[in-house]
Structure formats: structure tokens, C-alpha cells
Structure 1
Amino acid sequence: MNRPLRWRVALLASAAWLLPVTASAAGNEPPLRATTCSFTGMLDELRAALKTGSPAYRKYVKERLKIAARVMPAEELLAAVQRERDPDVLEALGGAVAGKASFSEDASLIQPLLARAASDSDPALRAAAVRGLKGTGSVDAMGKNGNVVTYDQLIRDSAPEVRQAVVENLVHENAKVYFGHDKTVSETAVATALASRDPEAAAKLLSEVSMEQVGHETVEKLRGNLRTDHPGLRAASASALGGVPGAEATSTRRSLVDLYRTDKDPAVRKAALQGIARLGMGGASATLESLRGVAPGMDAEIDAWQAALKLGLQEWHLLLREKERIRK
């Protein structure tokens, strides 16, 4: 479908959302007519819905704005982003802007949103601007804007709600936009985690973002993080290393074995075993057995992995689920 036609289709779709939704029970009212709805009117309805509407209605008005934004003049939408002071409304406007940027293939449209995410004086508005990018190809869009604002900058924000929004965006983008298959998003998540001064935020990124496409340099950075002073970060790095590409498996396995033998923290040792099991899947049994007795208190964890591996499961999430079931 060519672009002008696609815009007309989007406009018709957005117009359909604007039709009245009530009718007379008696059936003798004048026939329903399509009505014109200004952007200001849509914004007023959005504001009211976000304050008092049901979850379904809030979703409806946000989705309607996204559809309408595809064909409305960018200047009006961007001006609203720049002046908005309500975090919930700003997040919805941000989602509309990000959607329009993707639809029109014009990444420059998100610049006002990035500016607010980086420099607004109100942390709630900074977080809202970040959340507005959720569910889009935001890493790619930031790159097309010259990486003037990046996630590894935003993760250093002093406000925890901003850092949380960064983590949620990257985890969601990795899992729901690219389904774990985008190298740039995964490597951005690692870089963002390593730039963070918030160990919990960094650990969540490392443990929940797919590493199946990362390059050698990123794997080396993860290995280096096994020596960090924070046990939660060591554990998260060990878990992340379990998912690296097959070409990195042999050297990574050695690093995880060394970690298990030398680290005294039980959570780190548990994560090292998980990383070893994931790297080797069916072939991990011998490596795991070689670690029996190193930390007698962890031998039950090795037993659980060995029992799960014998089931011959080929999907990692199924193997992990069975191991946890056995360990209970």
C-alpha cells in the first residue's frame, strides 16, 4: 500500500473512532451523524478519561489518539508535548508521537519527547516522557536522532521512577518489539546496565533482556561484571551469560565455573549453575557434576538441574520451569 493511500486509510479509521456511541432507546431520534472532533477536543476527552475513566475507556481514548496522530499536523501534536504538565497525559501524547514517528518513518519527531525525558525539571514528567517511547523501536529512533539522548544517559537520572521507566522500556522493546532477536537493543541494554549507578535496575536489565545476538565485546563486558562488588549484579551477569551466542559458549562456561568455585555468595553460585545449564542444555551434565562438593550447601541445586536435564527438554523456559518445580 503506498503512503498517501495508507494515510487515507488511517484517517478513515480514526474518523470511525469519532462516531457517537449512543442511540435513543425509542428509536425516533434523528439519525446518527459523524461529527468533527478537534485535536483540542480529543485532548480534553483524554484528560478527563485518564482521571475518571475505566481502564477500558482510558485504553480506548489513548488508542484513538495514536490513530488520529498519524494524519494530524505534527506541529500541533509536538506543541502539546512541549507544554503538557500532567504526567499521564504526557505519556499518552508521547505514545502518539512515537507512533507517528514510526508510521511516517521520521524519527526526528521524537526530539521534543527526548528533550523532556532528559531535562524536564519534574521527575514525574521525565519518567512520563520515557514511558511514552515504550513499545516502539526507541533505540533505533534515538540513534537516528544522533544519540543526543540515550538510555545509558537516562539510567543515571537521580529519580527512581525515571530509571524504572528506562528498564521497563528496554525489557519490553527486547521482548515484545524484537522478540529477543535484535543485537542493538540487547547491547544497548547491557551498556545501560553497566552505566547505571542503581544496582537493582542494572540487575533487572541484565537478567531479563535476551543475549542471544550480542557480540564478543559485550560478552567480555558481562564477564568483567562477574567481578563487581555487588552480589546481585554478579548473579545477574552470570544469568545473562547463560544466554550468549554459541560461539562464546566455551570460554563463557569456563568463566562461570570459575565463578562458582570462587564466589561465596549462594545467590551468585545459583546463578552460575543456571548459566552453565543454559549454555550446555543437554551437554551441561558433566560440567555440573564436576562442581559437586565445591559448596556442599549447593549440591541440592545441582541435583535439581541434573534431574531436569534428564527430561530432554529443548526449550529453555520449559527446562527452567521444570528445574524450579523439582527444587521446591
Structure 2
Amino acid sequence: MLFLSSLLYKNEPEKQKMARGNASFVTEFILAGLTDLPDLQLPLFSLFLVTYMVTMLGNLCLIILIGLNSHLHTPMYFFLFNLSFTDLCYSSVFTPKMLINFTSKENIISYRGCMTQFYFFCFFAISECYVLTSMAYDRYVAICNPLLYNVAMSPKVCSSLMLGSYLMAFSGATAHTGCMLRLTFCDANTVNHYFCDILPLLQLSCTSTYVNKLVVFIVAGVNVIVPSVTIFVSYGFILSSILRISSTEGRSKAFSTCSSHIIAVFLFFGSFAFMYLKPSSVESMGRGKISSVFYTNVVPMMNPFIYSLRNKDVKLAVRKIVRRRVF
């Protein structure tokens, strides 16, 4: 390993050698935030504080509701439980620090804090991709193979799907963070974002980011293509099955069971695609911050409402709990 490291070091361009030798290594980063206009700081603080409180309350209520009601202990709500848990943790990775930065003059985050935030961002983002994919597979089995549903979606299968989701998230986050830790950050330490995201961090590195970009291409490719293809194929079969249903009521019921999930998938994957599937530049990063707000703040807040307001079982469970408290 020492020989390989020395060989790689010898083959580096002279500019990178000088960067290693003369750099004043960064121990902390400055987060540029959403905007540098002072008049917008307080209104944005209030907006995101309300958003965060609604996100925490909505997802926590959904977790408690599913946990307390035995008739919600089904595969569909098992995945929804995990989605709410992921959103709860996911939103907490960015928003508390974001709120602090709105009220402070210097938006400083330590190097370790930045890498920790980056790791959990990758972990929960990838987790959400696969949880949404598992939910699509659940809907496919429920509509296309209803007679085999109890076998195909047994507790063991559901647990395995979730374990696989978290293992994929762990491996992806570890790969991204491990590659990020090998980079050297010199004098430039202003991250053009409100959290430690991969693209603005790569722009600050004074050493080669080729390996990082290769890992992003491979890991992001796998974690986007596999869920996307699975979801599209699942809904292709679902649509085909729904069109074969003769009764209008049956079609309406089948569509209603999928509509909530389709909205959640569109919001999450759509905002992610807008942020990452375009060339990275200062101008695009500025626009990308707005897109980032959707998948870091808006989507975790909207998911509980999407699944509760359009779900008869959840509404029934809420009514039962209210009746118990009243009587």
C-alpha cells in the first residue's frame, strides 16, 4: 500500500504536489446559505422553522399511528412506517443547522461536522430511494398478484427489503464519504450551498476529483437506475392490470391506492434529477439550491399529508384514537 501511494504521488501533476505542500488545510467550512440578503434571513428562518415543526409532527404522528393500530400492521404500512422514519431523520440532518445559520453572522461548520452531515445526507437519501422502490413493488404485488400477496409480501420478505435498502444506503454513503475524505481542501472553504453537498464540495478541492466523480457516476448510477427502472416497470404492469379491470369502481380503487405513492416518487426523484442531472456551475448551483429545498425540506413535510389525506385506513385509525380519547 505504501509503495502504491508513493507511486500515485509521483505521478500526480506538479500543481497538485504544490497544493499538497503549500496548502493551509481547511479545518472548517463556511456555508453560503440560501441567500446573502439580510432582509430575508428572518422570514426564511420563520418559514423553515414552521416547515421543520410540521415535518417532525407529521412523520412522528404517522409512526405512532401505525405502531399503535394493529390493523395497520400490513406490508404497505410497514414501508410507510420506514418512509416516515427516514424522512424524520433525513430532515434533521440539514434543518437545525440551517436554522442556526439564519440567525448567525458566520455560517461556520467544522470539517468533521461537514463530513458527518454529508454521510447522513447520502445515507438517508439513498434509503428513501429504496423505500419508495419497495413500496412500488408492494403495490405491484397487491394489484397484479393479489392471491399471492400474503406469500410474496410476508414479514420476512418485507424485513429483507428494508434491510437491503439500509445496506445499499450504508455502502453508498460509505463510498461517497470515504472518497470525500481523501480529498485535500486548501484555502477556499466557502461551500456554495446551505449544507455539505457533494457538488459544491468537489468544487473546493485543490486535488484531483477524478476518483470522486467516477464513484459518483457508479454509485449514483446504480442507486438511481435500479430504483427508477423497478418503479417504472412495476407501474407498467400495474397500469396494464388496471386497464383490464372491467368495473369503474375497481379501477378507481386501484388508482387511489397508487396515486399517493406516484406523487411522492415524482416529488422526490424529480427534484433530485433537476439538481444533479445537469452541468455543475456557479449559476446552476444557485438554481439548484431551490431544487434542494424540495428534496431536503418540502418532500419530508409533504409525505405524511400525501399518505394520510388520501388514505381511508389512516383516517379511520385517527378517528378511532380520537374516539378513545374523548370517551
The two structures have a TM-score, normalised by structure 1, of: 0.24
Determine which structure has greater relative contact order: mean sequence separation of CA pairs < 8 Å that are 6+ residues apart, divided by chain length.
2
Larger Rg over CA atoms: 1
